[in-house]
Amino acid sequence: MFQLWDFDVARYLPSGWDSEIREIASKHSKSVILVPTSITSRELDPNLTLETLVVDGAVVAEHLPWFFELYQGIFRELGQRCVSEELTIARDTIQAVNLNIQRGQKMRYECHVDSCFLTGILYATPCQPGTGGELVISLDQNALGPEQIERRSHIVQPETGRLLFFEGSKNPHFVRPLIHGAERISVVMSYFSHSFPEKDRAPDLRRHLYVGKK
């Protein structure tokens, strides 16, 4: 059974946090061309190319140290309320946390499953209903491609300061393109457990997400 846990975490965030994240995204984002050949990819067309913008965890740790403290501390504690297994943070800083950024109407994030036990997502920008940018999570664990994922799905409307958790390794998901609005920024966090330790993370994921197609 699919479950999604939702928290309003505004009280834990420093004043101006969303502006600070947008500034880091503006200054440090890198364009990555995803070719969905990773073992985590769930696209139907392996030759598809999708542009995305990313800021890796090492940059987040350096320029947003308060966020990394939240990832290691209160956000992990909130995630622990959702599951029975003890959660652990990632030792690989680059993949522990990242900013996922979409700009304009041509970008969307690929259909995929996550390579961690529990995924946390904090939204730094809102997307109004009807403007695109929704997270679409399939209720069919075998779904491939946007159409199949959309067929039976749970839709998440991004709201600034909203933190959600779900077991992203089980349910394929993707992010719809923006229809209106200039930018969508989410901060994605990876947590692990005894049944899904960090050492079992997909070995090709670092290159797939942070290097992409040359």
Contact 77, 12 (CB under 8 A): no
Segments forming the whole domain that contains residue 196: 4-210
pTM summary value: 0.95
Contact 16, 119 (CB under 8 A): no
Count of structural domains, the chain: 1
Residue 43 has pLDDT above 60, yes or no: yes
Calculate what percentage of the chain has a pLDDT beyond 90: 89
pLDDT digit string (tens) for 138-188? 999 999 999 999 999 999 999 999 999 999 999 999 999 999 777 999 999
Phi, psi of 89 (to 5 degrees): -85, 165
Q: Give the length of the chain.
A: 214
Q: How confident is the model at residue 214 (pLDDT cuts 50, 70, 90)?
A: low
Contact 144, 96 (CB under 8 A): no
Q: Report how far apart, in Å, the C-alpha atoms of 117 and of each of 19, 87, 194, 195 are.
A: 30, 8, 9, 8
**In CATH, what number is assigned to the domain containing residue 161?**
2.60.120.620
